[in-house]
Amino acid sequence: MKRILAIVSVFSLPALALAQNLTYSGSNGLGGLLTWFSGILSAIVPILIAAAVVWLLWNIVRYAIAGDEEGKAKAKTEIIWGIVGLFVMVSIWGLVGVLQNTFQLGGGTVTVPVLPGITH
């Protein structure tokens, strides 16, 4: 588990570095704070969802290659928790969209987060 956390941390550092342009001066009020926080989440959410998908796929592979019933049972439990985790993440992102629309904080639509690209 520590190895997976270390790998996810290493791959998330570039996205966090891209988020450094999101500075909050305090003079923008609550709307500015929410915009700043939304920008940070837009950088982190795709990485978390990608890590959850990789976790789910890894446990599916573990289930397929497990020879004993104990290994299959453990992998099956991890698969279920992976599906629950993905559901919770996507549901929370939908709730954020509902709150943005309700309080008119965003542009009216929820954009699907994408990983930042590397340019030459």
Give the per-residue pLDDT at 112.
63
What burial class does residue 43 get, using C-beta atoms within 10 Å of its C-beta: 0-12 exposed, 13-18 middle, 19+ buried? buried
Distance CA 102, CA 96 (A): 10
Per-residue pLDDT at 80 exceeds 70? yes
d(CA 116, CA 15): 7
**Model confidence, pTM:** 0.58
Query: Is residue 101 a contact partner of residue 33, using CB atoms and an 8 Å limit?
Result: no
Q: Is 7 left (phi over 0), alpha (psi -120 to 50) or beta?
A: alpha
**39 or 85, greater pLDDT:** 85
Residue 20 has pLDDT above 60, yes or no: no
| Average confidence (pLDDT) over 13-40 | 64
Confidence of residue 44 (pLDDT cuts 50, 70, 90): confident
pLDDT tier for residue 21 given thresholds of 50, 70 and 90: low
Looking at residue 99, its pLDDT comes to: 82
